[in-house]
Structures are given as C-alpha cells and as structure tokens.
Amino acid sequence: MEPAPLLEVRDLRTRFQTRRGVLRAVDGVAFAVDRGETVAIVGESGSGKSVTAMSILRLFGRTDRASIEGAILLHGRDGGVRDLLTLPEPALRDVRGREIAVIFQDPSASLNPVFTIGEQIREAIRRHRPAEAARADAAAVELLRDVGIADPERRVAAYPHQLSGGMRQRVMIAIALACQPRLLIADEPTTALDVTIQAQIMRLLADLKAARGMGLLFITHDLALVGEIADRVVVMYAGQVVETGRTAEILARPRHPYTRALLECRPERHYRDEGEDERLLRPIAGAPPRPSEVAPGCRFAPRCPMAEARCTAAAIPLIELAPAGGRASRCIRWEDMP
C-alpha cells in the first residue's frame, strides 16, 4: 500500500520572546508522519522535542510569548489539506479534540483530582463525540478495558489519587482515545514510570495504534525505546533535525556522530532488568549549546570526536543520503563514519 501522508511539518521555527532576548527553541524542523505510522522524535533534554509537539497544536499560552513559523499540514480523510498554523482558533480547537490528541509525561498534572476518572472520560466523550453522549457510561468502561485496566466497572468510580502512576497514564491514554484521533502525540509518556510499567505502556500504545490505524508521534530521550515501537526516527539536537531515517537503519548504522553518541550511552537491557542505576552508563561528554549561544556551522561540533575546521565554518544543511526512507544527516563527514 502506498504510504498516505497524515501530518507534514515543514521548516518549523518556534521562537520565544524572553527577558534575555529571543530564544530559538525550534529552528527549521521538518518531518512527516504517514497514516498508521509511528515516528519517534529523539534527543537530549532541551533539544526542542516538546516545543515541536506543542507547536503542532499551538498549545502555548499568551505568557509564553511564542512565535511559530513554517507549515503544519494535516491531510484530511477526503484528501483535503489544512495548514494548522493558519487555521483560525475555533477550527484548531476541533482538530485538537477530534483529530489529534496529546498525552504528556506526567499524568497527575493533567488529571483533575476532584473528579472520578469515569467523569473525566465521559466529559471527553461528550465534548468530542456528542452522538455517543447517551451511552457515555458504557463507552467510558469500554475505553478503560481497551487500555488494559482490570475491573473497569469498579475503577470508573475511582479518583486519580486512588490509582498507581501506570494506571493514571492508562487513564490519560483512554481520555486521548475518547476522541478517536487520527494522530496521537505522546510526549515522554513513560518517563515517570518504572521500567516494567514503562514496557507495558509501550506495548499498549503499539497495540492501540495497530488496532485503530492511528498515526503515532512518539517523543523520547531514550533511543532504546525507539527500536520496539517506531517505523522512523527523527533525531533532534539544539532545535534542529540532525538525522532521520528508518529505525532499523538508524540503529544499525547511524550517520551522525550525535546519533551514535546517543546509541552508545543507551542503557543495556540487562542493566535495566536488574534495576541497576542508569547513571552507571556513559553519558555524552559536554552539554548542548543554549539556544541563545549557537555558533555557525554544526551545533554538535564542540562535543564531536570527528569535528574538524570545516564543520564550524558555515551552516550545514540536512544532507539527503538515500532517496528511499528519507534517510538524511546533518553531518558533512557522514561518509567517514565507521
């Protein structure tokens, strides 16, 4: 089957007006998610992953003083294409509810402590699928069952604090699914959970995605999680895409030294299974540049073992390595990599 585009992000630039000047958090990011596909955005803290996700649905508040440029094209079922960046706010609100759903890292921050989880799921159903409002009670129980919550008839009456962290994240997923989204954006959905629960939630997301034919944009700093879930990977560094391609190819033969460094510091399975401290693992030396301090040329050069003079002389474009699978790297020495 020909891949059909679902979301196309083109030359996304998100800036914040701060007291210390303009902060370019996302600086020319482009990628696409096809229907039914899982794309992972990977990168260290501060690389601009969440800002990318927030920009897609314009989730910033007035106090963020954000400006977003580029294009965010959402392809409709009927073949029509809308640019979410130019869509009027009421139309965008519909997209947020019905077509694209987001789940974030910390479910406790998103759930309302004073309502039962059933009330919160039913509210999402009424808002996004008014036709089903009459059977919202039954639909809420079904959704809880779909996300793997045992005894959903009883759990539906529980308050968020009565549930474990893993169960609260399952409830967040149920609320996101209540609108039957065509695209689910999951921003570090398992980071706050322990590794066993993390694996369960990953499996759940993969199963739900397959069963519902959704696109999934999965955001993580942990490249180890990506192999199990993503069809393609977008590696971000300091607000830019530095490498992208099919997951298997990226994991087997990274073509950017930053991707390779991420792979080398990735926790081995046996460490995780034995519950050993992940800090034993080798982190990447140095720190990413602050967005206000990026030098010309390669932003990773100051930390790169392969850097040479020409790397910092001029801006480096994303170089297409192969037409198939959209393989590209922002490293002029990619052919020299082992």
Ligand X SMILES: Nc1ncnc2c1ncn2[C@@H]1O[C@H](COP(=O)(O)OP(=O)(O)OP(=O)(O)O)[C@@H](O)[C@H]1O
Give contact residues for ligand X (rule: CB under 6 A). 16, 18, 23, 25, 43, 45-51, 64, 221, 291
**Of 12 and 163, which CB lies nearer to Mg ion in the complex structure?**
12
Among ligand X, Mg ion, none, residue 260 binds (CB under 5-8 Å by kind): none
SS3 content of the chain, % helix, strand, coil (to 5): 40, 25, 35
| The residue type at 91 | A
190 binds Mg ion (CB under 5 A): no
Min. distance of Cβ 294 from ligand X in angstroms?
A: 11
**Of 49 and 266, which CB lies nearer to Mg ion in the complex structure?**
49
Min. distance of Cβ 333 from Mg ion in angstroms?
A: 29
Tell me which residues in 35-54 interact with Mg ion (CB under 5 A): 50
Runs of H (alpha helix) within the chain: 49-56, 89-98, 107-110, 117-128, 136-146, 152-155, 165-177, 195-212, 223-229, 247-252, 257-264, 269-273
**Of 27 and 146, which CB lies nearer to ligand X in the complex structure?**
27
Q: Among positive and negative, which fits the CA dihedral 51, 56, 57, 62? A: positive
Among ligand X, Mg ion, none, residue 152 binds (CB under 5-8 Å by kind): none
Min. distance of Cβ 64 from ligand X in angstroms?
A: 4
**Of 118 and 189, which CB lies nearer to Mg ion in the complex structure?**
189
Q: Which of 96, 64, 49 is nearest to 223 (CA)?
A: 49
Q: Which of 58, 14, 57, 30 is nearest to 234 (CA)?
A: 30
SS3 204: helix
Cα-trace Rg, the chain: 21
DSSP state of 111: S
**Of 41 and 141, which CB lies nearer to Mg ion in the complex structure?**
41
Min. distance of Cβ 292 from ligand X in angstroms?
A: 9
**Of 60 and 159, which CB lies nearer to ligand X in the complex structure?**
60
Min. distance of Cβ 59 from Mg ion in angstroms?
A: 12
CA distance 216 to 205: 9
Among ligand X, Mg ion, none, residue 159 binds (CB under 5-8 Å by kind): none
Among Mg ion, ligand X, none, residue 25 binds (CB under 5-8 Å by kind): ligand X
Backbone angles phi, psi at 220, to 5 degrees: -155, 155
* Site residues, Mg ion (CB under 5 A): 50
